[in-house]
Structure 1
Amino acid sequence: MSHITQANQGLAAAEAQNWDEAITKLSKALQSSTNPAWLLARSKALVNVKRYEEALDDANLAFHKAYERNKRDLMIDAHYRRAVAYFRLGQYANADCCAIYAMRLVKGHAALEKEDVRAANSDHDGFWKPTAADAMAEAREDPFNQTKPEGATSAQPAHVGDWRRASTLRIQALAAMKKLPADDEARQATAPLVPERKELAALKADDKDMEGTTKNDVAAQKPAIPSDAPLRLQDFQTNTTMSVSIFSKGVDKEKLQVNFLPESVHLNPLVYPNGDEKEFLLETFAEIEPSSSGYTVTPSKVELRLVKKLPGKWSRVTKESPGTKEDTKKDEKLQPLKDARRRAMDEADAKTKDEKPTAATTQPEASKVKATTYSGPAYPSSSRTGPKNWDKIGADEDEEEETGPNDFFKKLFKGATPDQQRAMTKSFVESNGTSLSTDWSDVGSRTVETIAPEGVEAKKW
């Protein structure tokens, strides 16, 4: 099952409030891609199973991923999810602060704005100043939250629903903070605008169906992986760079050594599909610039960014595609048969050419044909160029046989009688290629109309 399918199933489970299933599916999908929308859905699910610290980590990472993708709506949701996690942790000042971050993003403030919201809302001792009454007054009086009167032409501002949701959470958090002692730590806001970035961590006991299953049972259920199973590669290129993803789960970035050479990349150690740690040599299709190339390590793969020495497209990543050596041996065995077949085909072609009449012998015949050709009748026409002689159109077609999608129609035309040829040409031209008739008695005295296929509109040019 692909990680996209698992993610979609996880999102559907979260929508249906099947929190445990959502966490399991999304966790598997996130091992392949830290999509911010998936992180936010898992954060919501974790809150609902009271795993607040992990929910906060997901929301923090989601903000960074959304910022990298320039997704304002997901950054708004990430700040709101941070606020929810802080609220559940009892850190009410931080919850209110993150709710304000979300509301300011909704209003169009920069994602990394210079104004320090924490400092502006804290006293000289670092305690949070806003109150529930302040939040309620803002909800009532802020023009952004005013309902448009009936008949108003302008629509509600974008994300106004997100603003109201964060505003409601502010009121709840500040009402709860009011009950705390004046010097309580929960009254101090420590949540920065840009949260601390932590890489995706494996969650504890994600799969309930693993409970009561021993390690030996799990090992017995897994199919054996061949010891020579290769690493899977995926590539994407431009004219100047080649990006290569080497799928290797669990690579220790501290131990990994990557050496870029003009015609290869040496990595040691990588984790192979069977679990062994071994070196890996990638011989590139063409030369690269070692000093300009680089790499990154994720939980599931190593990503290489290779800078091409000479711009242009590569036909593949490596010098040899998989199985090249075996294919070469097979080709060597079959080469005598291929040579014999090629010689036979060449001899047959030469014999065919010898049997063809020469141009000198065919020229008189062509002259005779031209001499007996009549001008043909002229038919009424509204064309600016005057009446068409349907006999002459197509008379000089190249007699040389061709291949391709039009070959059938050319053969049909050549094998037809003169009346059929006139009918085919007239019907095809006048109908703009939508009709083809061989009945001259039908189309000879009328204009063939354009009949467009179903779903297509015919236009006059």
Structure 2
Amino acid sequence: MTTYGHKGVEAVQNRDYAAAIPLLDKALESSNSPAWLLARSQAHKHLKNYDAALHDAELAYHTAAERGSGNSRKQMIEAQYRRSVIYHTLRRYADADCCAKWSMLLAEGRPAREDDGVEKNVDQDGNYSVTYEDGVGDTKGQPGQGADDKMGMLSGIMGGSSSSTTAKTGFEADWKRAYIWRSQVLGVLKTVPEDHPGRKISVTKIPPKPQKTVAKKPDPKPVPAPSDNASKQPIETPAPAPGSVPDEQLKLRVDFYQNNQDVTVSLFVKDAKKEDLQVAFSKHQVQISPLPRATASYVKAGDREATSTLLLGGEINPSGSRWSATPRKIELVLRKASPGAKWATWGKEEIGAVAAEAGQEAPDLSAAASTEPMPAQAAPAGLAASSPSGPAYPTSSKTGPKDWEKLADEEEDDKQDVNFFFKQLYKGATPEQQRAMMKSFTESNGTSLSTDWEDVKARKVEMIPPDGVEAKKWDP
């Protein structure tokens, strides 16, 4: 069984989630190992089996607490973090923040059964009252900020008090991960309407202990014994039969934010080829094809499952909208038909092509085949023809000519300074990208920022000062 467990964990690390689950199922028949439960929870979450993912995270928490081994606290920290990620995916944002905070408290060395009152932070309407600013400023208990670091020594030299410093616990990285994740959760929470159910608390610090429900299953494909001469072969699992994956599991993970002019929608999808993508905008829909589906590897261009239709939460100006694509996501910038209108939600995704409503023009994918993302500085094509505007006078500004009749709108946009940019960057990043950002920014003393974890995880990010500035090492 140990071999199955190790192979299952390795498959999760390699992101082969479909192969990991039967291996971990077999391993967990004889042992409730918290490490295996957490790995299976992660696999279920990526395959959009959210109930199963939550079940495994909660069972891992209880099993780790009962065992009381050397790894128990770390596994409990991880279990609370996993709960937070799952609740966020389910749009239960208040519950997600509570679990992230409990993960931080465990990393600080606080008692697991302490009544910390995190879930009691609600207003008179029963909505969660913790704000984004509260979360960002919640660093008092950060472990490892003791008087042995330079800032602590400087505080002592200057006569400051060290009473607020905290000792190292061994879980500093876990605390930082949960702290950064909270900023993303609370950043989303502040954008949702006041009556959104995700603002309500329905979670408890110690979850009800779920029952072990995994039934005995036939052995997965035999795992070959390792040999000195044989190279490691990937675990092969048969692809799902066409049409066997429910539509709900095919849907993409989506995030969005908005300002007075645009709604920006991020669709998290891997390996979409920019040169093949066809994106068509209409007033109430966006149609995208072809999309690879991680949970259904049989999907090919032209299949129904390769197309997504986004039914939007408001009306847009198709000619003023644009898109861009990277290896990990597709980003849509939707120009609002009514500037200043606040969308309650970005909309919803339907698998396959959806007929346009009566009286609307259907998206033309053939015409959109050659669509390229519009430069961020350029005025949207056709916008001047559809709405009157003042003359654009010559200017040396990097943003190009200005329409002085719209100066008020531009001044509003100027309020979104570099801090706003970094907040949005964190908000749209994956936990792996956030770790890369934290590591690169900290090690380089704020001179470098990377979102590529594979690039920075095994090296120290060197400080690269701006031209004309000499970097000097500070010693107390």
TM-score for both structures, normalised by structure 2: 0.40
Identify the structure with the greater helix proportion. 1
Computing the radius of gyration from Cα coordinates, the structure with the larger value is 1
